[in-house]
Amino acid sequence: MTDTSLASLADLSSAISALSARFAHSIVSVHSRRSRSSGFVWRPGLIVTADEALPEEKEFEIASPANVAAANVVGRDPSTDVALLRVDGPDLTPVALAAPAVGAGHVAITLGAEEGDSIVALGVIARASGPWRSLRGGHIDARIELDLRLQPNAQGGLAFNASAEPLGMVVFGARHRVLVIPSATIERAAATLADHGYIPRGYLGLGLQPVTVEGDEGRGAMVMSVDPKGPGHAAGIQQGDVLMTWNDASLRDVRSLLQALGPDGIGKEVTFGLRRGGETRQVRLTIGQRASD
């Protein structure tokens, strides 16, 4: 290895160390009796962390290099994996999230924290593509997968590019893939949680079960229950009906239907094609809003 190569490695090492020191008071550890994860300061007194990493508790501790303080849950959104905590006391520095262009092969650095100490990992962006929906129906603005080894307690920390710009929150996806929840998704979800404590979701008022339909129609969703105060009941949908289409598109499965019930669907009118007693009919329904927990 040449002296030039050694110098380049030394420069890289120094840059990563400087990045860790720069954000030491912005990346925090999030503790409870049953969990250890990371988070970052989104706004003064507000911590964003990974919802998946949090147990069903309301009280947590936030540890930074300077202090340990109690934190309470403001709101959680499992569909985007964003949770928001409120903390009082420690002198923490909010992170200005960025939305830089990303591409496969770009260098990625992740920062988490444990008991106020930094947890650093280095890798590359393995995949970068357009918007997608999570298994719980959340709209994620970009799919960013990282090729690196992420420690479990670093989940909820931040991913950075080689220019020290934060790409978003690092989380575990399906099959333990390392994903980044991009900045745009975090800003949207965290702002709604700060204002309302929850993310509004569309509501049909129907309990559905996937079924296979005889003939060429394939699959549908049988109505197993109807909320008497819900939109489905108001539209005249009955228990035992089989939903076959949604706005003239085939209803592939119940999951795809539920994924379509995002915040932007509330108040919209949709048309279901359904079968009842061997007859096919069309029913118009206005999507309601699911009550918050």
> pLDDT value at position 34?
87
Average pLDDT over all residues of the chain: 90
The second-level CATH assignment, the architecture, of 202-289 is Roll (2.30)
pLDDT at 3: 60
Q: How many CA atoms lie within 13 A of 262 on its CB side?
A: 16
CA-to-CA distance for 258 and 241, rounded, in angstroms? 17
State the residue for tokens 């720069």.
22
pLDDT value, residue 58: 81
Q: Can you read off the two tokens belonging to residue 232?
A: 């489905």
CB 137 within 8 A of CB 260: yes
pTM of the model: 0.81
In sequence order, which residues have a C-beta less than 8 Å from that of residue 215 and are 6 or more positions away? none
For domain 1-88+96-199, say whether CATH 2.40.10.120 is its number. yes
9 token code pair: 């490695």
Task: Please report the pLDDT score of residue 33 as a whole number.
Answer: 86
Domain with CATH 2.40.10.120 in the chain: 1-88+96-199
pLDDT below 50 — which residues of the chain?
293
